[in-house]
Copies of this chain bind each other. A is one copy, B any other.
């Protein structure tokens, strides 16, 4: 979901960007107008997240999945020890990709026993001193599970897949060595990946690292070592301008908290619906829920779509329902969902 006003602005200038007579998709990525657009997106992101000067902001391609491989390629040598927390499907994919890179991969916590409805308690795991980094997933998109704390690594580089929570609330970037995010949740369209990495960690990539995933090479080229996904960067700039106008990440957090509280409260107070996630680990972005009678799942989805409520199917791997209430969704969207769920329960109880 993208903010309506962002889409409308993109629409209005799709064939004539900045009076150029051309689409932003047609201008040269090395021309002044587009270079200024990319610089604007970077500066807005730096301002919104208060990114320290010793961090690179990179605009890459390949999504979080690309970063699952890029992180070990850039930050380790074969045989190194790396550590991961496994809180769900996205953590598991990152772990699997790391294992392909000739590493000693230690999974310090695995929430399997709770069917991935919990996060490991702070202090419940110990990071070996030789670990090159600890990787975790602050928000698991599919499971709807969120860490309610930032792991204290005692100086070992902390890496976070922020795809489904970036810009949803303030973060202290200096606590992290590297964060990354596919754009398609809170930042813009699919096909753009944002990486924010502390400069001193870059420049030691394995020689076989593809240039498009090499942080130092990309940083040296201002993310334009090859043709960047120009339309995605342009839309990112528009989305970030919208976040600024809305009051920044603090305002986003308030708005997101209110949306999530309304939805969880409704679910918890209605015996027709249930959310499986531990209270302290509930996501403000992704709210999975089940019906008391799963035979009604298909009916629920069909009637929801008729009511204009789309994208409510749970991930194909887990079934059930999932409401993704990213930044671009307003309280009205959540209210409409609750209204529909109320009516549906009344009709089918």
Contact = CB atoms under 8 A, between A and B. Distances in A.
29 contacts: A1-B22, A1-B26, A2-B26, A7-B15, A7-B25, A11-B11, A25-B190, A28-B311, A30-B316, A62-B62, A62-B212, A63-B227, A65-B210, A65-B211, A65-B225, A65-B226, A66-B226, A68-B211, A69-B212, A73-B208, A100-B207, A189-B229, A189-B230, A189-B231, A190-B228, A191-B229, A191-B232, A210-B210, A231-B231
Interface string A1-19: 1101001101100110000
A14 B15 contact: no
A63 B61 contact: yes
A134 interface: no
Given A191-B232, A231-B231, A208 B101 contact: yes
Contacts of A154: none
A228 to B, nearest CB: 7
A230 B229 CA distance: 12
A299 interface: no
B213 A210 contact: yes
Highest count of chain B CB atoms <10 Å: which of A1, A211, A228, A232: A211
Contacts of A101: 208
Contacts of A63: 61, 212, 226-227
A217 to B, nearest CB: 10
Secondary structure type dominating chain A contacts? loop
Contacts of A61: 61-63, 66, 191, 229
- Is the interface on chain A under 10, 10 to 19, 20 to 34, or 35 or more residues? 35 or more
Given A69-B212, A73-B208, 9 more contacts: A25-B189, A62-B212, A63-B212, A65-B212, A73-B210, A100-B208, A102-B208, A191-B228, A208-B208
A29 interface: yes
A64 interface: yes
Contacts of A27: 310-311
